Amino acid sequence: MPELPEVEIVKQSLIKNVKSQKILNVIVRNRNLRFRIPNNFKSILKKKKIVNIKRFSKYIIIELSNKIYCILHLGMSGTLHIVKQKNKNLITNSSFYHSPFLPKKHNHVEIIFKKLRLIYNDPRRFGYFKILNNPLKLKNFINNYAIEPFNRKFNYNYIKGKLHDKKKNIKNYLLDQKFVSGIGNIYASEILFESKINPKKKSCDLSEIELRDIVKYSKIVLNNSIKKGGSSIRNFVNTSGDLGSFQKYFKVYEREGKNCPKIYCDGEIKRIIISNRSTFYCANCQK
Indicate if 161 and 136 belong to the same structural domain: no
Average pLDDT over residues 193-220: 98
CB count in 10 Å sphere of residue 140: 11
3-state secondary structure of 116: strand
Residue-wise pLDDT for 64-85, tens only, equals 998 999 999 999 889 999 998 8
Q: Convert the pLDDT of each residue in 25-37 to its tens digit.
A: 999 999 999 999 9
The verdict on residue 287 lying in a domain is: no
Name the residues annotated as catalytic.
2-3, 58, 277
Query: For 75, how many CA atoms within 13 A lie in the half-sphere containing its CB?
Result: 18
Same domain, 101 and 232: no
Are residues 134 and 65 part of one domain? yes
- The H or E element containing residue 26 is strand 25-28
pTM, two decimals, is 0.89
CA distances from 222 to 59, 184, 194, 215 (A): 16, 10, 12, 11
Question: What are the pLDDT digits (tens) for 243-286?
Answer: 444 456 789 998 999 999 999 999 999 999 999 999 999 999 99
Residue type, 106: H
164 with 57, same domain: the answer is: no
Amino acid letter for position 80: L
148 within a domain of the structure (yes/no): no
Q: What are phi and psi of 228, to 5 degrees?
A: -95, 10
**How many alpha carbons lie under 13 Å from residue 89 in its C-beta half-sphere?**
16
Write out the residue range of the structural domain in which residue 219 sits. 156-282
pLDDT digits (tens, 9 = 90+) for 33-57: 999 999 999 999 999 999 999 999 9
